[in-house]
Structure 1
Amino acid sequence: MTNKDSYNKIVDSWIKARNNAIVNKPIIQFAYHINSKGTILDIGCGTGMPIAKYLSDRNFSITGIDQSSKMIETAQSAGIKNSVFHTCDFFDFETDKKFNGIIAWDSLFHFPKERQNEIYSKVYHLLAPGGYFLFTHGKEEDEHIDSMFGEQFYYSCLTKDFVLGLMKELGFEILFSIENFVEENDQRHWVVLARKK
């Protein structure tokens, strides 16, 4: 069983949960930094709700990628303007385009632990100079299976300090690093906004 299969199975429950979800303040701050009509890559975009929809309404051009074909079908049928959605693994995603912003809200922790350190160099390469990267992450090194809507999901992450060190080496400037982020009923272990110098 893979996360892709599990997400395909829970798509109806996911739609109910996400269609009425808030757009968290760090996402609004991320959008504020990007020039109007900028291009944004949404890694693990799911159904496009509410994040891609919010960014689209701000007149950004959105490219959404997700491993779950059911999530992508839902996103494609949602009528989100200025957007294209692809069923794709992040590590297989190739484009000549450079993005003004990349967002990975609740997606990096699904990547295989042995490939976690590859994420940041690939994101750096995909960003235009001065581009912004917003992501959520765990703080401690971890690898486990958990359940959501009755299905099993794989999670992993590296330590916060290791990730920050890796990003600084690549040439990222950290604009904010928030631990134990809470907003209404939403909680995240760690939220980071970085900029490609």
Structure 2
Amino acid sequence: MIELFRRNLPGVAVHFADMRKLALNCRFQGLLAWDSFFHLSLDDQRGMFPRFQAHAEPGAPLMFTSGNAEGEAIGELEGDRLYHGSLDPDEYRAQLDKAGFAVIAHVVEDPDCGRRTIWLAQQRGR
């Protein structure tokens, strides 16, 4: 994935790290956790909202995918077992609010996007 990113976006900085421990000491104009965030345990997901806040400039959008309801499941990708977890939508809203994000849009199982459940939030100004 890193090589694909570099090939498609040459010259753009790449950070490879465990998102649960991310501490880059800088802020970004936007954050994207697409098809990644829901592979964390429910408790690890809860712990990510302060990390999102710490890396978002005022007004920065945050987009991530989740499940459509609270729960955990094991799927499969290319023959490997793959964990999926999701908080309840009300808890996502509460976690976002606590971290200073306002929900802009929430689409459940978007048919135009591979039936993904998508969140778009924006960091409030400080």
State the TM-score, normalizing by the size of structure 2.
0.87
Which of 36, 51, 64 is residue 135 of structure 1 equivalent to?
Answer: 64
Residue 187 (1) aligns with residue 115 (2): yes
Of 155, 158, 162, which residue of structure 1 is paired with 2:84? 155
Q: CA deviation at 1:113?
A: 2.2
1:121 to 42, 50, 55: 50
- AA at the equivalent of 1:121: P
Amino acid aligned to 1:196:
Q
Residue 13 of structure 2 aligns to a residue in which SS? Answer: strand
Name which one, 1 or 2, has greater alpha-carbon Rg: 1
Report sequence identity in percent: 24
Question: Any idea what the Cα deviations from partners look like across 1:103-147, whole Å, max 9, x if unmatched?
Answer: 111111111222111111210111011111011111212122111
How far has the Cα of 1:87 moved from its partner? Answer: 2.9
Structure 1 residues not aligned, in runs of 5+: 1-46, 48-71
Partner Cα separation in structure 1 for residue 97 and residue 42 of structure 2: 20
Question: How far apart, CA to CA, are the structure 1 residues paired with 2:15 and 2:123?
Answer: 25
Letter in 1 for 2:15: H
Q: Provide TM-score, normalisation by structure 1.
A: 0.58
The amino acid across from 1:102 in the alignment is: L
2:94 aligns to what?
165
Summarize deviations over 1:22-80 as a string: whole Å, max 9, x none.
Answer: xxxxxxxxxxxxxxxxxxxxxxxxx2xxxxxxxxxxxxxxxxxxxxxxxx24434x252
AA partner of residue 25 (structure 2): D
Structure 2 residue runs without a partner (length 5+): none
